[in-house]
Structures are given as C-alpha cells and as structure tokens.
Amino acid sequence: MNDPVPPQLVCRRCQGAIDATDNYCRHCASPTGKLGGSPAKGSAEWWESPWFVVTLLLFVVGPLALPLLWRSRRFTVHWKIVLTIVVTFITAYFLWVIWYTLNQALAPLQELKNFRGF
C-alpha cells in the first residue's frame, strides 16, 4: 500500500518547516521533542553534560567531538557556534605548530642534501 506523506510541522524555536519524522530541526538543530517520547524539560542524557562535551572538545578528541556538541540539548545555538569556532582555531594552531616543528627539525637534513662540498 502507499505510505502516507508525513505532514509538515513548524519548529517551536525558529518557526522553520520540519517533517513529522525529524528528531531535530533542520534549521536550528533544536530537538523536536520526539526522542524516546516527549522528554521532560531539562532532562538530558549524560553525554549531553556541558562539562563532558567541553572536556572532549578541548582536551580529548578536539574537532571529532563537534557532532556531540551539536546534538547536545544543553547548549544554545550561540554557544555551539562559539565553541565550534574556538575548537577550529585551536586545531588549526596545533596543526601549524606541528608543521613548523617538523620543518625546523628537518631543515638540517635538507642542508645536508643540498651540500655538495665533496
């Protein structure tokens, strides 16, 4: 038989159009309230804890924890954007430090390669 087309709904936060099957708004990433039934206000999973997410972002896995940040219901969209920018800059800085250190460490080898005194 034909599956019925899910009706369009409106997000409570941003008023964007969402499908009835969406768990999160496609525009602002706020939960639609359908995850495991309608969760009580303020109830969230342990992995959504701000301390857990920030620790993963800054000290453990860096940018690999960004999806966890964006799925967390305990951060506002503003804080999600700020933390994403901070983690991006920290990651870029550390990649630059690694590149610079390797460049400095391999410079003597490059000099030996270019030396034609014999």
Task: Give me the tens of pLDDT residue by residue for the chain, a chain 118 residues long.
Answer: 455 545 567 787 777 888 777 778 888 887 876 543 333 444 567 777 888 888 888 888 888 888 888 888 888 899 999 999 999 999 999 999 999 999 999 988 888 877 765 5
Residues 6+ apart with CB under 8 A from 11: 17, 18, 25, 27, 28, 30, 32
Do 11 and 30 touch, CB atoms closer than 8 A?
yes
φ/ψ bin of 115: left (φ > 0), alpha (ψ from -120 to 50), beta (otherwise): beta
Cα separation, 87 vs 66, whole angstroms: 9
Contacts of 52 (CB under 8 A, 6+ apart): 46
In 1-118, DSSP assigns E strands to 8-10, 17-19
The answer for residues whose C-beta is within 8 angstroms of residue 22's C-beta and 6 or more apart is 9, 32, 34
| pLDDT at residue number 10 | 79
